[in-house]
Amino acid sequence: MFEARLQNAMLFKKIAEALKELCHDINIDCDSDGLHLQAMDSSHVALVSLNIQPDAFEHYRCDRPVVLGLDMQQLSKFMKFCDKDTSMTLKKYDDSEDNKITMCFEDNSGILSSKECTLRLMDIEQEHISIPEEEYECNVTMPSSLFQSIVRDMSGIGDEVSLEISGKYIKFCVDGDDGKIDLNFPLNDSPDETKAVQIHADDTISQKYALSPAETAVPTQ
């Protein structure tokens, strides 16, 4: 049997919302080490690799490896039942003919309501992608809400964003048919994670990226 309980179902909901526009069908591999998924968008531009360890769950049980083939659009519809006060339990029984996953939602706000949903699983042929270990030339950590705002605002101006990164700043630039936007963010080692912009770069680096994959990966919360 597979059973996993999240005290805050919003974690799983945000994952579903972020993936549903990028990848339609996804296999989630479940084993004693947690939940693992890999997926690419249809244009093979963006690769998603996600691991959720057992200690992220309030309760985690996986007696044998299980593959959950999910339609992310359908999963996202079921996740509308949860909010910040909802806990969720995922269940998959060992019966080979039981080709579905059960999701139990419980309201913890004091209303004490519960909902149980069953979602049919899919048989998805998906090749495992070997991701090589790399040492990146730079690493930038910033609030996800800030990155979300940057991507949303710039995608209305152009299709590509140019990044320039040094050890002291990160610069976003988009040049569209009707205008241009330059955004500069200096290094900010604030202890407040909602304001901090941490940059680790050995040299100045410039690169250009398509905005569309980033926009679908950071939907409005």
67-108, pLDDT tens digit by residue? Answer: 999 999 999 888 888 888 899 999 998 876 678 999 999 988
Q: Which string of b and e fits 164-187 if b means at least 16 CB within 10 Å? A: ebbeebbbbbbeeeeeebeeeeeb
**Residue 113: pLDDT band with limits 50, 70, 90:** confident
- Give the pLDDT of residue 217: 67
- Give the pLDDT of residue 43: 76
Among 39, 96, 32, CA closest to 65: 32
**Residue 165: pLDDT band with limits 50, 70, 90:** very high
pLDDT at 172 over 90: yes
What structural domains and CATH numbers belong to the chain?
2-120 (3.10.150.10), 138-217 (3.10.150.10)
**Residue 131: pLDDT band with limits 50, 70, 90:** confident
Note the pLDDT tens digit of each residue in 206-221. Answer: 999 988 888 776 655 5
CB-CB contact of 91 with 119 (8 Å) = no
User: 214: which residues sit within 8 A by CB, 6+ positions away?
Assistant: 151, 161
Among 103, 105, 95, 106, CA closest to 119: 103
Instruction: Tell me the whole-structure pTM to 2 decimals.
Output: 0.76
- Give the pLDDT of residue 45: 78
Percent of the chain scoring above 90 in pLDDT: 52
AA identity, residue 154: M
What are the angstrom distances between the C-alpha of 99 and each of 29, 34, 102? Answer: 15, 20, 10
- Give the pLDDT of residue 21: 78
Quote the Cα angle for 205-211-216, to 5°. 130
